[in-house]
Amino acid sequence: MAEQHAHAHAHHHGEKHTHISRGTYYRVFAALMVLMVLTVAAWWVEKNLLEIPGWLAVTIAMSIAIAKTVLIVLYFMHVKISSRMTQVYAAGAFVWLIILFVITMGDYVARGWPPQAGPLP
Amino acid sequence: MATITHEEAHAHTHGPELQHQFETPEQQKEAATLGMWAFLVTEIMLFGGIFMAYIAYRWAFPEAWEESAALLNTPLATVNTVVLLVSSLTVALAVNAAEEGRKRRLITMLVLTIVLGVTFLVIKGYEYSEKFAHCAGAKDPISWITGSDLHESHECLVPGRGFMFPDEHGSTSGGHGAAKTATQSGHQLFFLLYFSATGLHAIHMIIGLGVMTTILVMALRDRFSPTYFTPVEIGGLYWHLIDIIWVFLFPLFYLV
Amino acid sequence: MSTLSLPQSSYIRDNSRTFTDWLKSWLLTVDHKRIAILYLLSINFFFLLGGLAATLVRVELITPQGDLMSSDVYNRAFTLHGVIMVFFFLIPSIPAVLGNFLVPLMLGARDLAFPRLNLLSWYLYMIGGLFALIAAVFGGVDTGWTFYTPFSSTYSNSNVVMTITGAFIMGFSSILTGLNFIVTIHKMRAPGLTWFRLPLFIWANYATSIIQILATPVLGIALLLVVVERLWGVGIYDPALGGDPLLFQHLFWFYSHPAVYIMILPAMGVISELISTFSRKRIFGYEFIAFSSIAIAILGFLVWGHHMFVSSQSVYAGLVFSFITMLVAIPSAIKVFNWTATLYKGSISYRTPMLYALGFIGLFVIGGLTGIFLGVTAVDLHVTDTYFVVAHFHYVMVGGTIMAYLGGIHFWWPKMTGRMYNETWGSIAALIIFVGFNMTFFPQFILGYLGMPRRYHVYPPEFQILHVMSTAGASILAIGFIVPLIYLGISLRKGAIAGDNPWGATGLEWKTSSPPPTFNFDKTPIVTEEAYAYPPEAAERDAAAWRPGSPL
């Protein structure tokens, strides 16, 4: 199992298993705070300064949320240095969420809302 | 390993934390981590159902979403986001401290995490009580208790029979009135999802606080060492997941 | 084979002195084998209850008039049958009983990875079952096991919340079992037991566990929202309040379609074991069977919309779902072809478990092929919500899962108890079940095709002959289920001592004593060969040595 961790971060003391250093945690935390400020700022700008289309606003907010999630999962939750199986399970959860969302929304979009306004008369 | 019986192997080579079904501490640790991740998968799918409903209804009622989100308390939610992100850092540092065998630091970080978690719940509770106070006709939770200061426009954002979304002119309309129900349904759905999602999240926070308290007690009793700190690690994983859920709930409900 | 008495120490025996101690040693056990026995007893109890509800339904349907019960009582009867059978029998049956008992044994492990979690999952199962029972006693529930909205959330006056709570808690039990299996299979395999040396039962249970952890929580939240809607009068699924009832169906079938694979995949795993053992041959196409389990698990998540063809779901979505549904036929067929190829030139012995296995193949083929009819939108529009659907899923669930469950129970009975059951009665019961089953459900295909809708207790007189036939078949089926209870019970005292490996089977579970000791193996086994390593000439040698009455 130690071999699987070979691509881990540099570590400053001679333990057998690799781990993520405290400095990395602080840097990740700083990045998270920056992202949080960004997402609130983007929202404020949309509300008060300039109109942007709704889909773009959602895309911005969701991209930032996904970026935060990736940071937390990879570093705080140690997935970056975890076994391959853990990585597969972590990724699998999100893939399955997307299956649920995409297929269900596929039905909604093709059906239209409210139902009588769908593509078929 | 195959030539000696299990009892001997366990009694001689490992500490009491190695359970009977495992051969080595590494195996036990990896099993615990994988098990926790499998559990987190189920948690993600559990919230996935609510997010699915969110997507469908936001797509159906975009205007209602925008109008409703404006009535949520975004500044408080922003503070809460910061609180949770900091608690995630303290948990990560707690795991780090456990890994390096620094007991004092571990305990400090766990206490900090618990304090931050409670702070989050208190703020969240205030937000909820604000909405309930409006339903009762009061301006804010404090005047609700003291019975002073009525709310200027009558509104009730708690989904249910008394739901009443204030319209643009400041006048009010009953959630039960047949004509208004159709136009109000999007708003009610927003608040229903808001209460369901954040409520489910709060329940997870409470469970998380229980987990953290348990780990704190274990730490105080010297149950951890640099070779055995699995509970800290998998408890931390759970806490981070709660954080991730909030990372999505925050923009989806407050920043529409 | 040569032992004449049961082993001195086994998981069943203990040296508790008082009754309380003995009770504690079972109710607080963390031994996966004892938990499997607890599950065996409780699941069979629920099977009996579900069977009683089915009896009510079938008796009512003997006459075209609704003369035994009112339509309302009838609704509650078939709902009770559905809820109990699906949530408390079919879904936990094979994983919780056979899986719990066998997964650690087959892996050469001392126990599952999380033994206490395993016990917790049994308690959750019992608590969930208790809720469902209380709901049934205090008037039952009339929504059908699908809890479709807005009926369940707005209109029904029955104990919906109580039943849903039961199903919700049972879901957690199912999740914990799946989680435990996944970790155990990943981390607890004996030295040398690589993935491609695993028995196919393990592969099947792994695929099942993935479905359990990915799908069950979605059902949980869908049901939870129904409860919220009922309790607070809000409209998440209520069209009058802006909600969409179809959203419930999407979420519900996102779980409940994969759930039919939770039922059938472990059954397929059992069948792979039985076919190979009683043909004395390596399984044909090991990798194909193994990966087809995974393929079914994944494809099973993409086809839920075929339950919603007539629900005002978009026709385009319907087309896509219909197409992907066809794809599920591929891995299913791969399995059936590989099993039949295993039989080819095998030394087949028609022992009781093998009878169930062969019955499974036949019934599953019928169930699977009619599934393809239903997957075609054009045909489905005609037979939706008719007895055709009822017959189809009973062929898969009863003809598939229950046949495999009983076959597996018989096959591993000597391992679980250390004693053999009566082979003659075993074969007779298997044949009774096969005949009774076909007589019950084949007429329902015809009924459905003629237009008999499901869930109605009154029907036109011209359907009576088929309904009477079905009820007669159900009576035979009931006898077939009672007979094994008797001779298996008797075998506990009177059965011949089985010995470690009565079937001459491969697999680690047969290498330890019967019944196994508490920690399964005295020494951790080391695996050096693949599963089903019957020597190539084993089948021929067996055939040459065969004479009437010889064991294999």
**Pair A72, A88 in one domain:** no
Lowest-pLDDT range of B197-201, C22-26, C298-302, C543-547: C543-547
pLDDT cut 90: percent of chain A above it:
55
Decide if C378 touches A, using CB distance below 8 A.
Answer: no
Nearest-by-CA chain B residue for C168: B46
- C-alpha A76/C-alpha A92 separation (Å) is 19
Whether residues A77 and A105 share a domain: the answer is no
Predicted confidence band of residue B8 (pLDDT cuts 50, 70, 90): very low
Alpha carbons C279 and C354: distance in angstroms, whole number: 9
**Any CB–CB contact under 8 A between C315 and chain A?**
yes
Verify whether the Cβ–Cβ distance C113 to B42 is below 8 Å: no
Enumerate domains of chain C plus CATH numbers. Answer: 50-541 (1.20.210.10)
Burial B13-50 (b: 16+ CB within 10 A, else e): ebeeebbebbbebebbbbbbbbbbbbbbbbbbbbbbbb
Highest mean pLDDT among B14-28, C174-188, C510-524: C174-188
Q: State percent of chain B over pLDDT 70.
A: 84
Percent of chain B with pLDDT over 90: 56
- Chain A positions touching B34 (Cβ under 8 A) are 83, 85-86, 89
Cβ separation C251–B182 shorter than 8 A = no
Are C302 and A104 an interchain contact pair (Cβ–Cβ within 8 Å)?
no
A97 with A78, same domain? no
Contact flag B255-A43 (C-beta cutoff 8 Å): yes
- Which contacts of B180-184 are long-range, i.e. CB under 8 A and separated by 24 or more positions? B181/C240, B181/C241, B182/C242
Nearest to B38 among C182, C247, C250 (CB): C182
Token digits of residue B241: 């997941």
All structural domains of chain B with their residue ranges: 47-254
Q: What are phi and psi of C419, to 5 degrees?
A: -130, 155
Chains in contact with B, where contact means 3 or more Cβ–Cβ distances below 8 Å, are: A, C
Band of residue C305 on the pLDDT scale cut at 50, 70, 90:
very high
List all chains that touch chain C, counting a touch as 3 or more CB pairs closer than 8 Å. A, B
Read off φ and ψ for residue C453, nearest 5 degrees: -75, 155
CB contact under 8 A, C313 and A103: no
**In terms of domains, do A4 and A50 share one?**
yes
CA C24-C29-C35 angle, to 5 degrees, is: 120
> Among all chains, which residue has been given the structure tokens 């707005």?
C154
**Residues paired with residue B225 on neighbouring β-strands, in sequence order:** B228
φ, ψ of residue A26 in degrees (nearest 5):
-65, -40
Q: Same domain for A74 and A91?
A: no
Q: Is C465 exposed, middle or buried (0-12, 13-18, 19+ CB in 10 A)?
A: exposed
pLDDT band at A118 (very low <50, low <70, confident <90, very high): very low
Q: Are C498 and C421 in contact (CB under 8 A)?
A: no
Residue of B nearest to A15 (CA): B100
Own/partner pairs, B148-151, CB within 8 angstroms, 24+ separation: none
Q: Return the ∠ at Cα B161 (arms to B159 and B163), rounded to 5°.
A: 50
Given an 8 Å threshold on Cβ–Cβ distance, is A110 in contact with C316?
A: yes
Asked if A61 contacts A39 with a C-beta cutoff of 8 angstroms, the reply is yes
Residue C298's pLDDT band, with cuts at 50, 70 and 90, is: very high
Q: What is the band of B171 on the pLDDT scale with cuts at 50, 70, 90? A: very low
A21 vs B121, residue with greater confidence: B121
**Does residue A16 have a pLDDT over 50?**
no
Query: Which chain B residues touch A19 with a CB distance below 8 Å?
Result: 96, 99
CB contact (8 A) between residue A99 and residue C314: no
Sign of CA dihedral B2, B8, B9, B13: negative
Alpha-carbon gap: C179 to the closest alpha carbon of chain B (Å):
6
Backbone torsions φ then ψ of C108, nearest 5 degrees: 75, 30
Q: Which whole-number Å values give the CA distances from B150 to B134, B144, B164, C231, C275, in the listed order?
A: 9, 8, 16, 29, 77
Select from B3, B23, B186 the Cβ nearest to the Cβ of C523.
Answer: B3
| Cα separation values, A67 from A39, A61, B88, Å | 11, 10, 16
**Residue C550, SS3 per DSSP:** coil
Using the beta-carbon criterion (under 8 Å), do C243 and B185 form an inter-chain contact?
yes
Same domain, A69 and A103: no
Question: Which of A59, A60, A77, A97 should be substituted to probe chain B, the one whose Cβ sees the most B Cβ atoms within 10 Å?
Answer: A77
Q: Are A66 and A78 contained in the same domain?
A: yes
Per-residue confidence (pLDDT) for residue A94, from 0 to 100? 93
Whether residue C393 is predicted with pLDDT greater than 90 in this model: the reply is: yes
pLDDT at C138 over 80: yes
Is C110 close to B20, i.e. CB distance below 8 A?
yes
Of the residues C188, C211, C214, C325, the best mutation for testing chain A's interface (the one with the most A CB atoms within 10 Å of its CB) is: C214
pLDDT of residue C522: 86
CB nearest to B56's CB, from C228, C247, C523: C247
Which residue from C465, C393, C413 is spatially nearest to C97, judged by alpha carbons?
C413
Distances (CA, A) of B36 to B41, B235, C27, C180, C454: 9, 9, 26, 10, 43
State the average pLDDT over residues C413-434: 95
Whether residues A78 and A89 fall in one domain:
no
Q: Is A67 exposed, middle or buried (0-12, 13-18, 19+ CB in 10 A)?
A: middle
Three-class DSSP category at B210: helix
Read off the pLDDT of each residue in A10-34 and give the average, rounded to a whole number. 74
* Residue % of chain A over a pLDDT of 70: 78
How much is the average pLDDT of C437-465? 95
pLDDT at A10: 38
All residues of chain B having their beta carbon less than 8 Å from the beta carbon of residue A40 are 74, 78, 255
Q: What is the pLDDT of residue A115?
A: 57
Interchain CB distance below 8 Å, B248 and A65: yes
pLDDT digits (tens, 9 = 90+) for C218-277: 999 999 999 999 988 888 898 888 888 999 999 999 999 999 999 999 999 999 999 999
* Mean pLDDT score of chain B: 85
CA distance B73 to A66: 23
Provide the 10 A C-beta neighbour count for residue C126: 17
Burial class (CB in 10 A: 0-12, 13-18, 19+), C517: middle
Residue A3 C-alpha, separation from nearest chain C C-alpha, in angstroms: 16
- What tokens were used for C198? 């695993």
Q: Is it the case that residue B180 has pLDDT exceeding 70?
A: no
C1: helix, coil or strand? Answer: coil
Subunits adjacent to chain A (3 or more Cβ pairs under 8 Å): B, C
Q: What is the mean pLDDT of residues C368-379?
A: 93
Mean of the per-residue pLDDT values of chain C = 92
CATH topology of domain B47-254: Four Helix Bundle (Hemerythrin (Met), subunit A) (1.20.120)
Contact between residue C444 and residue C394 where contact means Cβ atoms under 8 Å apart: yes
| Of residues C42 and A118, more confidently modeled | C42
Chain-chain contact of C312 with A115 (C-beta, under 8 angstroms): yes
C194-228: pLDDT as tens digits: 999 999 999 999 999 999 999 999 999 999 999 99
pLDDT band of residue B168 (cuts 50, 70, 90) is low
Per-residue model confidence as pLDDT tens digits over C23-73: 999 999 999 999 999 999 999 999 999 999 999 999 999 999 988 899 999
Minimum mean pLDDT range among B181-190, C109-118, C338-347, C435-444:
B181-190
Of B5, B47, B189, the CB nearest to C242: B189
Tell me the mean pLDDT in the region B82-99.
Answer: 95
Q: Which of A33, A40, A72 sits opposite B244 (nearest CB)?
A: A72
CA-to-CA distance for C506 and C535, rounded, in angstroms? Answer: 11
How many angstroms separate the CA atoms of C410 and C404, rounded? 10
Residue C534: which pLDDT band, with cuts at 50, 70 and 90?
confident
Alpha carbons C251 and B53: distance in angstroms, whole number? 9
Residue C108: its pLDDT value, please?
A: 93
**Is C214–A92 a contact, with Cβ atoms under 8 angstroms apart?**
yes
Rg of chain B in Å (alpha carbons): 24
Site of tokens 């039952």: C140
Q: Verify that A71 and A106 share a domain, yes or no.
A: no
Domain count, chain A: 2
Angstrom distance (rounded) from CA C353 to CA C369: 24
| pLDDT (average), residues C432-459 | 95
Q: C302 — contact with chain A (CB < 8 Å)? A: yes
B22, B38, B186 ranked by CB distance to C179: nearest: B38
Q: Is A35 on the interface with B (CB under 8 A)?
A: no
Please tell me the predicted confidence (pLDDT) of residue A14. Answer: 37
Binary contact (A20, B96; C-beta < 8 A): yes
CA distances from A112 to B56, B76, C241, C313, C377 (A): 11, 36, 18, 10, 20
Domain span at residue A39 reads: 1-82
pLDDT at B82: 96
AA identity, residue B197: A
Q: How far apart are CA C514 and CA C511, in angstroms?
A: 9
Residues 229-248 on C with a CB inside 8 Å of A are 246-247
Q: How near does any CA of chain B get to the CA of C103, in Å? A: 13
Mean pLDDT on A83-88: 91
- Which among A85, A100, A106 has the least Cβ separation from residue C218? A100
CB < 8 Å from A in window 197-256 of B: 226, 233, 236-237, 240-241, 243-244, 247-248, 250-252, 255
The 3-state secondary structure of chain A, one letter per residue: CCHHHCCCCCCCCCCCCCCCCHHHHHHHHHHHHHHHHHHHHHHHHHHHCCCCCHHHHHHHHHHHHHHHHHHHHHHHCCHHHCCHHHHHHHHHHHHHHHHHHHHHHHHHHHHCCCHHHCCCC
Which one-letter DSSP state was computed for residue C496? P
Residue C425 neighbours by CB distance under 10 Å: 17
Q: Which residues of A touch C218 (CB under 8 A)?
A: 100
B85 touches chain A (CB under 8 A): yes
Per-residue confidence band for B115, with pLDDT thresholds at 50, 70 and 90: very high
Per-residue model confidence as pLDDT tens digits over B37-90 = 999 999 999 999 999 999 999 998 888 898 899 899 999 999 999 999 999 999
